[in-house]
Every structure is written in C-alpha cells, then in structure tokens.
Structure 1
Amino acid sequence: MKKTLLGVFAVLAMAGVSNAQDMADQETTSLNEDQNTTSSYDEYNKWSIDINAGVNKPSRPFAPGYYTSTPDFFHADAGVRYMINDRAGLKLDAGFDNFSDDENSLPFKSRLYRISLQGVANAGNILGFREWTNTLGLLFHGGMGYSTLSVQEPVEIDDNDQMLNFIAGITPQIKLAERVALNADLSVIGHIRQDQTFDGTGRQRAADFDGFYVNATIGLSIYLGGNDVHADWYSREKNMANDLDSINSRLAKLETDLQDDDRDGVPNYLDREPNTISGVTVDTKGVAVDKNQNGIPDELESAIDARFTKMEATSTSSGNDIIEKLIGDGYVNVYFQFNSTQPEVYSYEAINYLTKYMNENTDAKAELIGFADEIGNPDYNQMLSQKRAQKVQEILVASGVDASRLTVTGSGEDSTVDKASAAARQLVRRVTFKLIK
C-alpha cells in the first residue's frame, strides 16, 4: 500500500514540474512570437533559494508517557523556489526534524526527514501590498511529499517508517536588499499512513490521516537572476503605470515630430528649413527649391521679376527718384516672422526694389539695418537683428550687388510700438535700408 502511495506522489510531482515548465515555455513563446512586445518573463527574477531553521512541535501519534517540549529544538529546511509569474510559483524543499523527550517525558530520540513539492502564492502581490509598501511581503505555500521517520532511542529501529506528507504554511517577509529577504515561516505537516509513533516505542493502527506536527522557523530568501527585482517584490500595477507613462511620452514626441509648422508637407523632425515661406515648392528635406542659389525661392523669383518688369514699363523718367524717396523714407522694408531670419514672402519685392536701384546707380551704397521686437532676451534680440540684416545682404549679393557697397547693422530691439500688440510687433521685425551716395 505504501509503495502505491509513493508511486502516486511521484506521478503528481512530475506532473507539477511539467505544468510549471509548460507555463514558462508559453511565456517564452509569447515573447518570441512578438519581439516588439515586452513580456513579463524578463522583467523580474524568478529563482530563489530559501534557507530556514527553527523549532518543531509534534502532536500525534505518541505512546503513553512520551511527549516533547513546546517548542522542541530543532528543525531545518532548505528549498529552491521558482516563480511562474509575480503571483504564483513552485517550491521543492527538504526538511529535517529532531524530536526528543521533555524532562518529564519518558526518554526517546527520533529524526524525521522530509521532501515536498509545493505550490506558492504571492499573497503580498495578490492583496496589493506593493501599492503601499516595498518592504513587507507575504507568501502562502502548500503541497505534498515523502517523509521517513528514524528512531534512535530507546531502541534503534532499522525499518524506518515511510509516509506521504501534506504541508501548508504562511511566510511573512521583510526585504533587506534587492537580493535577500528575511522570512519567518509557520507550517503544519500531516502524514498519511504513519505506522510508527514519533517516540518509536509503539505502533498504531494506520488511519487515513494520523501524523501531525508543526514547524516555526526564521530564515533567508536569496534571490537569483540578472534583473533588478524578484517576483516577490514586483509591482505589476507600477510597471504598467511606468509603461503607460513611457508610451504617452513617445506619443507626445511623435505628435511633435509630425507637426508641420510651415505647412510645406515635410514634418518638423525631417524639415531642415522649418520656416519655409508658405506656398513655395520644397524638396524632401523641406528646403525651398532655389536652383540658381540666389537665396530667393524659384517660384517667388519669377513672380518678383514679373512685377518689377511691369513696374519698369509703366514708370516715368522720375522712377528712380520715386524709388529713392520710398527707400530713404523707410517705406521699403523686409519683414520677418517671430524669431526667424527668413524674410516673409511679400518682402522679396522690397529686396528686388533695392537690387534694381543699386544696379542702375552704380555709385550708390546702402546700409542694411536690422531690428527685432521686444519679446525675449535683449542680447539675443541684438544678435537676431544682426542676422536678419546679414540675410538680406546675402540675398542682395546673390542677386548681383557688390558686397563692398553694402554695410550691415544690427540695431537690436525696436521699442517704438506697443509690446503687447502682436500686430505692432510684426511691423518692427524688419530690415530697413539707408541709401548712401
């Protein structure tokens, strides 16, 4: 009969190990099927070694006149634990108990050896401990195994009693570090088909469930693996929150990258010229098409040339005087967008007026004076006004005006308009011309 029970235990143990392996394989397969999905398989360590020592208290069976102290010294056990996930796992452990007489008992000594395969429930994670503590934990465990009882005194018995054991226990935990935790354990163990009393002096009529004792221990859990945290202390909710924050950050970045501020059809993260003039053709990098590289987009250049040609055809002999007066009186200006050195599309006509005038009056010189509005740091605005004037100079030189006939001045902020008015600030973000003969 006992051989039959041991055979049943062996089959159950093999089935438990096989089931745990199948679950682990499923997680690994899930990870391999979608390499872009992070599986919980690699987020925390799963293996640990548990070592405990303490006391025991056998309750039954005893022959009359025999009993132990309460508690009785001593008990030791060691096991290897594998967590299938952050809430459940398996544990294979072995235990040793030394039973001896109390001072008022008849003398005896016996030893019990046990091996058990148990399921483990991480009650701390199941009950939401991680929401309020990362230091305290709680495990429940239970399973079955094989036990053997060896009697040394009063008479050494060669034929050890062999039994099927059932074990259940509770294990509070205190995390000392990421790799080690202090634990206390209280376990109850029952035997099926225990023929020999714990004192070894008598035999009893075998019942279905007749042996019973308790272990109380303290020990260490040593965590193995290359991840930062073990399943005992892993927080599924916090990890999901971190993943959600990461996804939201990436989505926010993606939204920013895909914006197209200058509406040229090229998203900002690919746009090498993010302030392209509206309506002009750009290449795949967002740069306005300028085949002759004169600083004026080709589409604008043809339109400006056409308008200037029309103006020449209708102008009188005093046309140069009119243009000179318009330029000198500040009616011809080049305007810019906020924090930009790229002229507004309509301002290229002003540049073309000065280009034509300079080409027809070869002794004339011009000073290009840049301005910025009052928004921002004054030192930065000074530099910005200088760059705006230099940008207009580059376009004029590219259009055929000798650079020696042009001087550049950055005048910084123009404070002559209401700083609170966006429309007024647009008027002072400019480059104006001063003719020198």
Structure 2
Amino acid sequence: MKKKLASVSLVLLAFAANAQNMATTTNQPSVDQPAYNKWSVELNGGVNKPVRAMTPGYSSETLGLFHTDLGVRYMFNPKFGLKLDVGYDQLQERSDTPNFDSKYYRASLQGVVNLGRALNFETWTNTFGLLAHGGFGVSQLSNDDGFDGKDYMAHGIMGLTGQVRLSNRVALTGDLTGIINGRQNHNFDGHGTPAYSSLEGVLVNASVGLTFYLGKNEKHADWYSEDNERLNKLKDRVTTIETNLIDTDKDGVADLYDLEPNTVSGVAVNTKGQSIDNNQNGVPDELESYLDKTYSKKGSETATNNTVEELINGGYVNVYFDFNSSKPTNASLSGVDFLVKYLKNNPGKSADIIGYADEIGNSSYNTELSRKRAEAVKKVATNAGIDASRLNVIANGEDTSVNKKSKEARQIVRRVTFQVK
C-alpha cells in the first residue's frame, strides 16, 4: 500500500516539476526580475470528520483527533501557484457506538490562488493572508477489521488557508479543507458499502500549522506586492535625489555632481565642485593668493609651503574611516592628495603617517587597527608616486580625547593624520 502511494506521489511530483519548468521556460525573464521567494514547505495537524458514507449504527467522533498533512508549494507569481501534498487521517468510533479503526491516506496536486494579493490585502495589512486551494489526487482507505485489502479511489479537494505572518521565513496557518472521493467501495467505518453511485465519501479536515519559506530573497510571493515594491523603489529614488542635492561643503555644486565634496569654505570651484588650483600645488588659487599677499615679504612660495606645512602638522589635514574599517572614506581621500602634492613640491621633505582608532573594542585590537589605517593611507600615497622611504607609519591606537558615547565624536577620531619634517 505505502509503495503504491509513494509511486503515485512521485508521479504527481514529476508533474509539478514539469509544470514549473513550463512556467519558467515559456515566460522570458525580464531585465528586472521580481525579488521574491517562490518555494515553501507546509506542515499541518488537526482534526477530521467523515460527513457521509458511514454504515447505519456506526458513528465517528464529532472531531476526530488525528489528521496531518505535509505539502510543498511553488508560486509562479504572487497570485498563483501549485501545491503537492500528502495527508493522513485516522478515523475511529465515538462513545457508545460500535468500534472501528480506519486509516485514510491521500496524495493531491492542487492549484493555489493567493486571495490576499488578488484582493489587495496589502492596502490594509501586512500580517494576514488568505489562500484558496483545490485540485485532484488519489486516496486509499484501509480497515483491518472491516474488509480485506485496500480501497483505492480518486478524489477532488478544495479548501481555504488563513495566514498570519510571524516573520519573513515563517507563517502560522489555519486550514479548512473538504475532500470528495470518487468510486469509494467501502464506508469510512469499513463495515458496509456506500449507497451512492459515484461520489461516495466526503471528509472534512480542520488544521493549524506552519509554513516555512525557502529562498535567498527577503520576502515570499505570499507577501510580495508588486505595486508596493514599485512605490517603495520610487520613494527610495526620490530620497536619493533629495539627499544628493544637498550641498555639504556649500560651494554651489550639489553632492550628486560634486567630485570634491569637502572643498575649503569660500574658495572658487569649477562646475564639478573642485577647487581651482591652476599650478597644481595642492593649495586652492584663492587661498594661495591670500597667502602670497599676506606673506609677500618672506617670499610667496616659501610662505605658502610653510603655511601648508603648518596646516598639515596642525592636524587640519586628515583622512577618516568608518567604524572598524581600514579603508579610507571616499570623501576624505583629498587629505591624502593634499599631502602627496606637498611632498611632490618639496622632495626634501618626509612625513609620519599616524593612525588612530576610537575607544570601542579591545585596546590591542584598536592599536592594530590604527596601524592598518596608516598602512592603507601610505599605500595610497605610494601609488600616487611618493617613495615609500619618505613615509613612516605610526600606530597611535585609541584616541581618548572625545566622549566615547558620542557617535559623532568617535567619527572624528577614527582617522589618520600627518607630521611633515
């Protein structure tokens, strides 16, 4: 019996797989594939009630206490899918009636309609869902005390499944299903034959269970709304545009188009937000002009170099890092460029590259992190043409000068600074 039922189940599973392949091969994939999972596994347990095909004098429990089913479901899209499931029911007598013990097995292939998506449940809830399912299958009834052998039959099945989403991976379900058997040769109690000619047995199942969603995406098709996703993507794009139109360094060029988002305040920039530096000495022309006028008695170039050196050694030129990272932030790479240009214009100079970390974490780890940060900056400088012998790495570890409970203050000390000599 079990071997025959298993064979039928394998046939149904092959049919389901073939249906899946047809769906995926007949529909050409779009450039922007929907990001939702399609597979799920369903496990349920509950009660049963044979509605008809009982021998006079025999009666089953009002709610039979053993029903279970296991299913695998594939959704072609958020509204339609296919399910292969197997079920088992144990049917027994109620009090003060003749004894019987029957076992009912079934395997069913069912279509699934996601009523939650079809009825736009997402407009008012993201927690509750509703599935309708129905199809056909094969069944087997056995009763060792009532008749010999097994009663094999076909059946139609239909039901409703309520869903409560517990997470993106699990949903709690409640299901009510009706099964109609065709060509059932024995009553459910096993002690008589049905009085009807074709559709003899009617069995009702009520169960609760869990659905487990499989796949790498965040949501399953049960909870994926194409309209909501399109709206969310549109909101994200608007937010991105609004954010990128901010002009952080107040140079008149929005961050979206600004190649130098940390320009010195007040200096002239080009259409790409870069400070104008015609002689490529690392000092914006406007600032250089001011320095020339202010220090003209000492010689403008010497004064400029001295002032640039004072800015570097005074800690005004830094390279910053994200938390627990040894990769410089893109916005702060101009600090390395500032040092590189100075060293190229002053070949007799060298520089200490000094790394720091904030106080979060183990001190020895933070010391090593500060070294890695300094090494990363040194690598950028050497790749830009500065000889490694002119650069000395120093790991200063944790900077304890700020309130370590302040996220903003910790960002300031996650840095590399320089000392030229």
TM exceeds 0.5?
yes
Native 8 Å contact 2:114 2:130 kept in 1: yes
Secondary structure of the residue aligned to 1:30 is coil
| AA matched with 1:18 | N
* Paired residue secondary structure (2:29): helix
CA distance 1:187–1:195, shift in 2 (3 Å): same
Return closer, same or farther for 1:207/1:251 CA change in 2, 3 Å cut-off: farther
> Who is 1:390 aligned against?
291
Assess if the C-alpha contact under 8 Å between 2:292 and 2:303 holds in 1.
no
> What is aligned with 2:160?
170
Kept in 1, the 8 Å contact 2:53–2:195? The answer is no
Q: 1:107 aligns with which of 94, 99, 113?
A: 99
Q: Is the 8 A contact 1:138 1:172 kept in 2?
A: yes
Return the alpha-carbon distance in structure 2 between the equivalents of residues 402 and 218 of structure 1: 82
**What secondary structure does 1:202 align onto?**
coil
Q: Does 1:57 align with 2:42?
A: no
1:30: which partner in 2?
29
Q: Which residue of 1 aligns with 2:125?
A: 133
Cα deviation for residue 203 of structure 1 reads 2.5
Q: Secondary structure at the match of 2:113?
A: strand
| In structure 2, distance between residues paired with 1:213 and 1:50 | 20
Q: 1:248 aligns to what SS in structure 2? A: helix
How many residues are matched?
Answer: 293
Q: Specify the code of the residue in structure 2 equivalent to 1:113.
A: Y
Q: Is the 8 A contact 1:165 1:192 kept in 2?
A: yes
Amino acid at match of 1:233: W
Q: Which runs of 4+ in 1 moved over 6 A?
A: 7-13, 253-257, 270-278, 282-287, 394-403
Deviations 1:3-34 (A, max 9, x none): xxxx999988755542333324567x525xx3
The reply on whether 1:217 has 2:174 as its aligned counterpart is no
Distance in 1 (alpha carbons) for counterparts of 2:169 and 2:209 = 14
Flag the 1:253–1:145 CA change in 2: closer, same or farther, 3 A: same
**Closer/same/farther in 2, CA of residues 12 and 92 from structure 1, 3 Å limit:** closer
Whole-Å Cα distance in 1 between the matches of residues 165 and 262 of structure 2? 53
Change (3 A) 1:55 1:8: closer
Q: Note closer, same or farther for the CA distance 1:122–1:262 as it changes in structure 2 (3 Å cut).
A: closer
Q: Would the aligned equivalents of 1:9 and 1:145 in 2 still touch at CA under 8 Å?
A: no
1:67 is paired with a residue whose SS is coil
- Aligned to 1:196, which of 180, 186, 202? 186
The partner residue of 2:141 within 137, 149, 155 is 149
Unpaired runs of at least 5, structure 1: 1-6, 298-341, 344-386, 404-437
Partner residue, 2:115 = 123
> Shift of residue 268 of structure 1?
4.0
- TM-score w.r.t. the length of structure 2 is 0.57
Q: CA deviation at 1:77?
A: 0.9
Structure 1: distance between partners of 2:62 and 2:76: 37
CA distance in 1, matches of 2:44, 2:87: 9
2:350 is aligned to none
2: CA distance, partners of 1:401 / 1:157: 110
Aligned partners of 1:195 and 1:205 also within 8 Å: no
Whether contact under 8 Å (2:117, 2:222) holds in the other structure is yes
Q: Is contact 1:167-1:189 (8 Å) kept?
A: yes
Matched, 1:20 2:20: yes
Q: What is the alpha-carbon distance in structure 1 between the residues aligned to residue 9 and residue 212 of structure 2?
A: 28
List aligned pairs for 1:27-426, cutoff 5 A. 30=29, 34=31, 37=32, 39-40=33-34, 43-153=35-145, 155-158=146-149, 160-204=150-194, 207-252=197-242, 268-269=258-259, 290=278, 342=286, 389-390=290-291, 392-393=293-294
TM-aligned CA deviation for residue 399 of structure 1: 7.9
What is the identity, as a one-letter code, of the residue corresponding to 1:199? D
The one-letter code of the counterpart of 1:223 is Y
Distance 2:217 2:302 in 1: 68
Instruction: Give me the CA root mean square deviation.
Output: 4.2
TM-score, length of structure 1 as denominator length? 0.56
Residues 53, 75 of structure 1: 8 Å contact kept: yes
Residue 395 to residue 230, structure 1, CA distance change in 2 (3 Å): farther
CA contact (8 A) 2:87 2:106 kept: yes
Percentage of identical aligned residues = 36
Native 8 Å contact 1:75 1:96 kept in 2: yes
- 2:216 maps to amino acid: G
- 8 Å CA contact retained: 1:272, 1:287: no
1:51-107 Cα distance to aligned partner (Å, 9 max, x none): 111111111212222221211222111111222222222211110111112224332
**Over residues 221-247 of structure 1, what are the superposed CA-to-partner deviations in whole Å (9 max), with x where a residue is unaligned?**
222233333322334333222211222
Structure 2 portions without partners, runs of 5+ = 1-6, 305-421
Distance 1:388 1:168, change over 3 A: farther
Equivalent pair of 1:90/1:120 in contact (CA under 8 Å): yes
Distance 2:297 2:276 in 1: 18
Cα distance in 2 for partners of 1:53, 1:106 equals 26
- Supply the distance in 1 between the matched residues of 2:171 and 2:39 (Cα, whole angstroms): 13
**Of 120-129 and 246-255, the range deviating more from structure 2:** 246-255
Q: CA deviation at 1:397?
A: 8.2
The structure having more radius of gyration, on CA atoms, is: 1
